[in-house]
Amino acid sequence: MYSYFNRDISWLSFNYRVLLESEDLSLPVYERIRFLSIHASNLEEFYKIRVAEHRSVIMQKVHSEEDPAEAEQILEEIKQEVTRQQREFFRIFSDEILPELAGEKIVLYMNAQAKPEHRGFIKDYFMEEIFPFLQPVMLLKEDIRVFIRDNRLYQVAQLRKKGTGEIFYALNKIPYAKVPRFVELPPIGDTCYYMFAEDVISANLSEIFTGYTVEGSYNIKISRDADIFIDDNKGDKNLVQVIKEKVKKRKVGDVSRFVYDRQMPPECLRYLIEMFDILPEDLIPDYAHLNMEDLVKLPNPAGKELETPAQTPLRIPELDKAGRLFPVIREKDIFIHYPYHTFDYFIRFLMEASINPHVDEIMVTQYRVAQDSEIITNLINAAKNGKKVTVFVELKARFDEENNLFTSEMMKNAGIKIIYSLPGLKVHAKVALVIEKSGRQYACLSTGNFNEKTARVYSDMAIFTSRRILTKEIARLFEVLETQNRNVNFNKLWVAQFNLIPNLKRMIRQETEAAKAGKKAHIILKMNGLQDTVMIDELYKAAEAGVKIDLIIRGICCLKPNQPYSRNIRIIRLVDMYLEHSRIWYFYNGGKEDLYLTSADWMKRNLYRRIETAFPVLDKKIKKTVLSILRIQLNDNVKACLIDENLNNVFFPVPEKGKEIRAQEEIYKLINSTLTD
């Protein structure tokens, strides 16, 4: 009866929306370049994880609900859509970005050819700065020692041996760790010039292969399966050691795509396919320059005028005047919406707890730990000051396993009690609890990671509270994490694996019954992803009954709008300077307007394979602010778009001057205005 979008095709629709930001002429050119880089980086991870998973299904390496025929079909759809987006990417880059850079007197050479004035410098730079780090390898089919590493840029040279005319192929790994991707050349007049490092090498290949004529050079790269399956239910091996072993294997995973310069001669491509056992379905032709996520590293000689000016993180005068946070939190809840607010207040929360003589215990969850984190420093200081500090570290946070291991071992050595991943589950909840000797408790509940680096670019919400009805349940949650006791009840907190799904269904069905009775019924859900068909069906049924449903979904959305059963559902996607990351659930509830902030998306992984929390907004002033933020986002007519029944990103008509609503700018103004109320 009901139908759904495929999650991966839906994700590609989101990544295309990211690409469209690079085409926005109202943005400074280096902001547009940043979105090109994000698009390329997103796609790389997509191939490492999602495409690799489909490959594993086809090869029957994993158990999955998807059968091999379905996997093959979706891979073909992915390939077609990725090819379309690649063409669009390079059209924008070549036809729009490069000319705009040139207009700003910044020239990026796009091949090995350069002005005569630069040729001497290019040769000298190659000989002095690049040549010492090159390790060229002749590609001989009988030599099995040649291995192409994951996501590294390589250059294949097609060579003709002088005298015999015999064709050979050689491989150079671009020494990205020793050489900048973009080489700065001497300016000519007031124009700055740059060149890709691989083009500098191409221009000087004859210096490497002196006994050969260079017929051509072509860039290649391989993306490898980076997903690591950890069966931690068996308990027969130490989890830390298992993860260390698995992370090492990630670098040599199965090929998920072989990307090559589409100008490569067929005979060269055939040779590489045989040499490296590349499957035809793994072949992805691309343009000359690969790994374009590196575009974010392109130097900007003009400075800030070609970038989007950063919003100054706002401070809360009441907290700054008070000197200490805890007396204020005792009196009322405090709302933080970073990066609009400064994230410093969470760091200060831990710092004050670490030196407060009345504090006995600190408990924190950590999913993605920032490198050189002040959060970790404060927790270590707290342990040194005699506090009992417990940190739950999720070792299975994808791509952060090694960093999380390093920081957890550092904390453990400082006397902090470390709790590692739960068997069969990831802990994605973002909670911190401080307990005084008197028994008084203070908490911070967040929609996003306690990570000062991502807090500068991810839009998230947090609440500091001392409400006993919340803090006592947070303490129960830490009991679950520490003892794995499942015989725990939650009331105000909604916790995945306990009461989250039943409460969500109850709230949706409550709105459904109200609509059937002819009463006002409204649901607003802001999340990063919506995949689970069980919960989508609940929304379809509510919409059929007449419930008005507004969805603000940044990424994957499997719910299909504009169908007879989804006619009351509107899906908005919002992409702007900050990554929309906060999750907010609103239910009209007969005018009571229940509002929850949460760490959970409605992906299968979040609802069924993780510990997540959703917490109510109980303070009336905070609720009013969050509702205002939701309304601003629902009315955005500049950066928001609608998702239609074909997964198109449909922008609103260009608004009249004075009627533009760009949500992230308006939210900054709103937050600023609340500081003076």
Model pLDDT for residues 60-106, shown as the tens digit of each residue: 777 777 888 999 999 999 999 999 999 999 999 999 999 999 999 99
Query: How confident is the model at residue 542, as a pLDDT?
Result: 98
pLDDT in tens, 153-176: 999 999 999 999 999 999 999 998
> In the prediction, which pLDDT does 398 show?
72
Q: 529 — phi, psi (to 5°)?
A: -150, 145
Calculate mean pLDDT across residues 627-635. Answer: 98
pLDDT digits (tens, 9 = 90+) for 296-350: 999 999 989 999 998 999 999 999 999 899 999 999 999 999 999 999 999 999 9
Amino acid at 52: A
Do 364 and 379 contact (CB within 8 A), yes or no? yes
Residue 236: predicted pLDDT: 41
Catalytic residues: 428
Tell which phi-psi region holds residue 286, choosing left (phi > 0), alpha (psi between -120 and 50) or beta.
Answer: beta
Cα–Cα nearest to 216, from 183, 176, 262, 278: 262
Angle between helices 533-545 and 500-516 (to 10 degrees): 20
pLDDT tens readout for residues 29-39: 999 999 999 99
pLDDT score for 11: 98
Contact 442, 329 (CB under 8 A): yes
Q: Which two tokens stand for residue 282?
A: 């793994």
In the predicted model, is pLDDT for residue 142 greater than 80?
Answer: no
Distance, in Å, from the CA atom of 11 to the CA atom of 160, rounded to the nearest integer, reads 45
Mean per-residue pLDDT over the chain, rounded: 93
129: left (phi over 0), alpha (psi -120 to 50) or beta: alpha
| Residue range 224-278, pLDDT digits in tens | 988 766 665 554 457 677 667 666 666 678 899 999 999 999 999 999 999 998 9
Q: Compute CA 209 distance to the chain's CA centroid, rounded to the nearest angstrom.
A: 42
CB 443 within 8 A of CB 409: no
- Check residue 227 and give its pLDDT: 75
N- to C-terminal Cα distance for the chain?
51
DSSP per residue over 194-223, as a string? Answer: EEEHHHHHHTTHHHH-TTEEEEEEEEEEEE
- Kindly tell me the burial class for residue 472, based on how many C-beta atoms sit within 10 Å of its own C-beta (0-12, 13-18, 19 or more): middle
d(Cα 153, Cα 172) in Å, to the nearest integer?
9
The residue ranking higher by pLDDT, 655 or 467, is 467
Provide the Cα torsion 544, 550, 552, 553; round to 10°.
0
**What is the model's pLDDT at position 509?**
98
Tell me if residue 402 falls in helix, strand or coil: helix
Side chain identity at residue 546, one-letter code: G
What is the mean pLDDT of the segment spanning 286-292? 95
Residues 6+ apart with CB under 8 A from 564: none
Instruction: Report helix, strand or coil for 321.
Output: helix
Angle between helices 344-355 and 374-384 (to 10 degrees): 10
- Does position 56 have pLDDT exceeding 50, yes or no? yes
Helix axes 29-46, 68-92, angle to 10 degrees: 160
Place of tokens 């072509």: 218
Per DSSP, the three-state class of 313 is coil
Q: Model pTM?
A: 0.94
**Residue 677: pLDDT over 60:** no
Q: DSSP assignment, residue 631?
A: H
Arithmetic mean of pLDDT, 21-36: 97
Poorest-confidence range of 206-215, 273-282, 588-597, 610-619? 273-282
Given a contact cutoff of 8 angstroms between Cβ atoms, the answer to whether 290 and 220 are in contact is yes
Cβ(185)–Cβ(107) under 8 Å? Answer: no
- Please state the three-class secondary structure of 349-398 as a single string: HHHHHHHCCCEEEEEEEECCCCCCCHHHHHHHHHHHCCCEEEEEECCCCC
Sequence letter at residue 609: R
Q: Which of 281, 348, 295 is nearest to 97 (CA)?
A: 295
- Write the CA distances from 665 to 148, 186, 528, 649, integer angstroms: 45, 39, 20, 21
Six-digit token pair at 127? 């000989």
Residue 455 per-residue DSSP state: G
Do 258 and 57 contact (CB within 8 A), yes or no?
no
Tokens of 287: 């343009």
pLDDT at residue 582 tops 60: yes
For the chain, give the percent of residues with pLDDT over 90. 82
Which residues lie closer than 8 Å to 413 by C-beta, 6 or more apart?
none
What is the total residue count of the chain?
Answer: 677
Torsion of CA 549, 554, 560, 561, to 10 degrees: 50
Q: Say how far apart CA 611 and CA 499 lie, in whole Å.
A: 11
d(CA 303, CA 635) in angstroms, rounded, equals 33
Instruction: Please report the domains of the chain, with CATH numbers, ordered by start residue.
Output: 1-104 (1.20.58.310), 129-181+198-294 (3.30.1840.10), 317-488 (3.30.870.10), 495-674 (3.30.870.10)
> Is the pLDDT reported for residue 358 higher than 50?
yes
